[in-house]
Amino acid sequence: MRKVQLGASVLELVEGDITQQDTEAIVNAANTSLLGGGGVDGAIHRAGGPQILEECRKIGGCPTGEARITTGGRLRARWVIHTVGPVYRDGKHGEAELLASAYRNSLRLASEQGIQSLAFPSISTGAYGYPMADAARIALRTAIEYLKDHPEVTRVRFVLFGSAALRAYETVLDELLPPEGRRPA
Angle at 154 (CA atoms; ends 22, 61), nearest 5 degrees: 65
Taking the least distance from each CB to ligand AR6, the nearer of 34 and 115 is: 34
User: Would you mind telling me the total number of residues written for the chain in this entry?
Assistant: 185
Extended beta strands in the chain, E state: 2-6, 9-15, 25-30, 67-71, 79-84, 117-120, 155-160
DSSP reduced 3-state for 83: strand
Out of 17, 22, 41, 90, the active site residue is 41
Closest CB 113 distance from ligand AR6, rounded Å: 22
| Interface contacts to ligand AR6, rule CB under 6 A | 17-19, 29-31, 37-41, 43, 85, 121-128, 159, 161, 165
CB atoms within 10 A of CB 11: 20
Active site residue 41: yes
Closest CB 48 distance from ligand AR6, rounded Å: 12
Taking the least distance from each CB to ligand AR6, the nearer of 50 and 151 is: 50
Closest CB 116 distance from ligand AR6, rounded Å: 21
Residues that are catalytic: 41
